[in-house]
Chains A and B, each alone.
Chain A
Amino acid sequence: MAEQHNKNKYSIIVPTYNERLNIALIVFLVFKHIPDVDFEIIIVDDGSPDGTQDIVKQLQQVYGDDHILLRARPRKLGLGTAYIHGLKHASGNFVVIMDADLSHHPKYLPHFIKKQMETGASIVTGTRYVRGGGVHGWTLMRKLTSRGANVLAHTLLWPGVSDLTGSFRLYKKSVLEDIISSCVSKGYVFQMEMIVRASRKGYHIEEVPITFVDRVYGSSKLGGSEIVEYLKGLVYLLVTT
């Protein structure tokens, strides 16, 4: 497909913790899928004991340290601060955030970029819940709680996006800086807070279907405390946004 010359630069922030193999795979796939785009990958590693940072240094040998930036931190310090840390070193005018465990596939990066250029959107968010998107590796229970949580959130918050907890997103850098300064939640509620605040502030948000392959089988992250956290997060968002 013919693409107009893209003068933008994309900073891809990937927070990592013990992802020594996945980070290498992700870097390869990013280079494979957006070869003609100006980008940098900013890896914010929280002191992984498995040698992730050594692998990043090897990747820098292969791909160049102008494309692969290692901006490590001493220990696990949370996702929100990882993005803020990555943002400080981002030289692009657009920022992509994505997970490091390969549930977010870099092959969707061209879709995000194209959607943004076509619509001029401030944010393009990946959604797993529309046709063209999807998940793999989820049990029925997980789908049920996901759908239930989604319906509840939509009824209460009227967010304007179909996937609230997704974390595969493209932001204009200035927009991300603006929103992230007002978000205080942690974990996936943080992702919800980001997109809901953006929606309230009137930013133009577009969606792109993505597929999500869960490779961490059997790890059930949905206990009673998770549900309580989620409900608390919803009420907080209901009242403060």
Chain B
Amino acid sequence: MKHIVKIMTLLVAITAVWISLLQTAMIPQSHTWLLPLYFIVSLGCYGLFMVGVGLMQFPTCPQEAILLQQDVIEAKEFLKHKGVDVGSD
């Protein structure tokens, strides 16, 4: 099924649970009303956390720039030798 349908189903299920919690009042109603807010805030925090972690772990490869320079030199030598115009740029 389409992805949006999956997400909607999930949201509907969560909403149903929330409404049933309101009805049965197992948890004090004042808390239950705030649950959606908690959910959204948690989602936001989780997102920020993932961004932070990803940023810290962002893989970099400075040595690749050097290797690339070497490749460029090697390529230019070969191609010049074969008559390809690699002079400019």
Contacts and interface: CB of A to CB of B under 8 A. Distances in A.
For chain B, which range describes its interface: under 10, 10 to 19, 20 to 34, or 35 or more residues? 20 to 34
Contacts of A213: 61, 64-65, 68
State the main secondary structure of chain B at its contact with A.
helix
Contacts of B14: none
B47 interface: yes
Contacts of B2: 240-241
Given A144-B51, A213-B68, A20 B75 contact: no
A150 B68 CA distance: 27
Contact of B68 (A105, A144, A241): A105
B33 to A, nearest CB: 25
Interface residues of A, number: 43
Interface stretch (A58-66, A88-96, A173-181): A58-66
Interface stretch (B20-28, B34-42, B76-84): B76-84
Contacts of B59: 128-135
Interface of A: 20-21, 24-25, 28-29, 54-55, 58-59, 61-62, 102, 105, 128-138, 143-144, 147-148, 150-152, 155, 157-158, 200, 211, 213, 215, 238-241
Interface of B: 2-4, 7, 43, 47, 50-51, 54-55, 58-62, 64-65, 68, 71-72, 74-76, 78-79, 82-86, 88-89
Given A102-B68, A144-B55, 15 more contacts: A24-B75, A24-B84, A28-B74, A55-B84, A58-B83, A105-B71, A129-B54, A134-B61, A136-B60, A143-B55, A143-B58, A147-B54, A148-B51, A151-B47, A238-B7
